[in-house]
């Protein structure tokens, strides 16, 4: 495992991504790989400010998409591309697939507009995208247990159902880089799958 890799984690809200991100980071570190761990929206000082707005302020759907890609442009320029160029692994909690799932699937922004934005920022594709998939009921129960819900988490169940379908459609469209993980199972089973996937990442 020498070549730098770009790994992204995706899933609907309440899919348990954060727990798996921590496990994956520790798994890499145990193999003497010290990844750059980052997130979207965010990952840079400006991106984190945009994140605060995106998660809280009501805005037009296109504004939302543009700000997601604006944050991503900074993220690519300041974090992702320099790290990969320096031979570091990058693990990002969400990336462009989230825009296709949330702004595209969830909010109904036409896919060609998202593709234009992706093209415009010269977006690179991850080497591996781990999609943590859970049935809506699991995600809803996890969100109900959270204290404070952001603007996306507050959306109705049908929004999250569309986001999930859009993620699964992306996984079907790009099978070479996507791995879909049934994240409704117990944690040991999920970690077993993750280890197998990671070992297969030559």
Measured from the CB of residue 178, what is the shortest distance to ligand TMP in angstroms? 16
Binding piece for ligand TMP, criterion CB under 6 A, among 82-90, 96-104, 139-147, 194-202: 96-104
CA distance 49 to 45: 7
- At a CB cut-off of 8 Å and minimum separation 6, what does 21 contact? 9, 37, 91, 93
- Can you say how many angstroms the Cα of residue 25 is from the centroid of all Cα atoms in its chain? 15
122 contacts 73 by C-beta, under 8 angstroms: no
Measured from the CB of residue 87, what is the shortest distance to ligand TMP in angstroms? 25
Binding piece for ligand TMP, criterion CB under 6 A, among 38-46, 76-84, 121-129, 182-190: 38-46
102 lies in the binding site for ligand TMP (CB under 6 A): yes
- How many of the chain's residues bind ligand TMP (CB under 6 A)? 12
Binding to ligand TMP (CB under 6 A) within 128-157 occurs at 152
10 lies in the binding site for ligand TMP (CB under 6 A): no
- At a CB cut-off of 8 Å and minimum separation 6, what does 14 contact? 134, 138, 139, 140, 141, 142, 143, 153
Q: Which two tokens stand for residue 148?
A: 């404070």
Q: Provide the binding-site residues for ligand TMP, judged by CB under 6 A.
A: 13, 39-41, 68, 93-94, 98-99, 102-103, 152
């Amino acid at each position: 495992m020498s070549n730098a890799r770009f790994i992204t984690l995706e899933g609907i809200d309440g899919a348990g991504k954060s727990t798996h991100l921590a496990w994956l980071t520790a798994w890499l570190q145990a193999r003497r790989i010290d990844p750059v761990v980052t997130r979207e929206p965010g990952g840079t000082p400006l991106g984190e400010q945009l994140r605060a707005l995106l998660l809280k302020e009501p805005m037009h759907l296109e504004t939302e998409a543009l700000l997601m890609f604006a944050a991503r442009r900074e993220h690519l320029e300041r974090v992702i591309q320099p790290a990969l160029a320096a031979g570091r692994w990058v693990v990002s909690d969400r990336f462009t697939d989230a825009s296709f799932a949330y702004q595209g699937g969830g909010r109904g922004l036409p896919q060609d507009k998202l593709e234009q934005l992706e093209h415009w920022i010269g977006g690179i594709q991850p080497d591996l995208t781990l999609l943590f998939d859970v049935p809506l009921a699991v995600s809803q129960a996890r969100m109900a247990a959270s204290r404070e819900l952001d603007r996306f988490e507050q959306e109705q169940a049908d929004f999250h159902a569309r986001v999930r379908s859009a993620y699964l459609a992306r996984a079907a469209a790009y099978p070479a880089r996507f791995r879909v993980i049934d994240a409704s199972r117990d944690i040991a089973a999920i970690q077993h799958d993750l280890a197998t996937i990671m070992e297969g990442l030559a």
